[in-house]
Amino acid sequence: MFNCLLNDQFAPFENEASVRDFLLRLIDTHVTRNDPEYNKACELVNEFAQTKRIEPLLRLYTLETPLYRQLHYESHAWLLPLICHFNNLKPRFFQGTSCRGLSMKSQELRAYRLACGKSSCIIRTNTFCSTSSDRHVAEEFSNECSNSDLIHVLMIFEFLHLFPLLLCNASTL
């Protein structure tokens, strides 16, 4: 059971099957059946529900479908199993530098600049986001936007330590 997190946003997701059903509905809503990755997306969700392994959901996020954008808005269904199976991800923990290229409005960038360098401020990303250990790859993503109102930004994340956090006892699931 996923009841290890006592938070209302996670209430509808009691087990892998409820997450599976929700994600399959998201796929049907946001990925057309003629999309070359549609069947693979459904297979990955079902594999997660059957095996209770988190790797299929990680693969689902990386598929080139509109689904990964929607997962930013519907992240609770996707993040809950990730959080509860966090210890299973230990071989994937990362230490080093990772970069993310993006575009943002000047007022958004201003907020980051004000917070930078202040020990009393914490800068966080509110969504699950893709990064690259290759700075040049991230720079390409920052240059993709053609909207003249947006500023090209390169975020550099320094992961000084491995992150061995246990948020939920996965053995109780």
DSSP codes of every residue in 15-32: SHHHHHHHHHHHHHHHS-
Count the neighbouring beta carbons within 10 Å of the beta carbon of residue 25. 12
CA-nearest of 80, 86, 83 to 17 is 80
- At residue 61, the 3 state secondary structure works out as helix
pLDDT of residue 26: 86
What does the pLDDT average to over 108-125? 82
Tell me the pLDDT tens digit for each residue of 48-96. Answer: 889 888 889 888 888 888 887 776 676 666 666 777 777 777 777 888 8
What does the pLDDT average to over 14-41? 86
CA-nearest of 100, 108, 87 to 168 is 87
Question: For residue 6, is pLDDT > 80?
Answer: no
Q: pTM score > 0.75 for this model?
A: no
8 Å CB contact between 53 and 77: no
pLDDT of residue 39: 95
